[in-house]
Amino acid sequence: GAGVSQSPSNKVTEKGKDVELRCDPISGHTALYWYRQSLGQGLEFLIYFQGNSAPDKSGLPSDRFSAERTGGSVSTLTIQRTQQEDSAVYLCASSLSSVQETQYFGPGTRLLVL
């Protein structure tokens, strides 16, 4: 079946603009995760959605970052007033139920803030 998809693949924006990144998880997966990866670095956890529970937002780096998950499926990560340090690859993953399951990753969105 279809894997996790993300759009856009690449995004170039100007400093100060808002951007929206989209993630379509695998159908039936109740858990969804967003990570950020700077060049040559490891993954930085951003936010975790599990079913109808309140999301774990503990990894969001500032109040410019927000995410929502509508209908328990598609998720959007929004970055307001982008800064150059926001440039990174944003990875989305989903798993069947919880963090104890294998996570399936999307191809990522490469964001460049000029």
Partner 1 sequence: SQQGEEDPQALSIQEGENATMNCSYKTSINNLQWYRQNSGRGLVHLILIRSNEREKHSGRLRVTLDTSKKSSSLLITASRAADTASYFCATDHTGGFKTIFGAGTRLFVKA
**Binding to partner 1 by residue 41, rule CB under 8 A?**
yes
CA distances 51 to 30, 41, 110, Å, are: 5, 29, 27
From 18-26, 54-62, 63-71, 73-81, give the range in contact with partner 1 by CB under 8 A. 54-62
User: Taking CB under 8 A as the criterion, which residues in 7-36 touch partner 1?
Assistant: 33, 35
What is the number of other CB atoms lying within 10 angstroms of the CB of residue 93? 21
The nearer residue to partner 1, 33 or 65, going by C-beta atoms, is 33
Interaction site with partner 1 (CB under 8 A): 4, 33, 35, 37, 39, 41-43, 45, 48, 50, 56, 58-59, 89, 91, 93, 99-100, 102-108
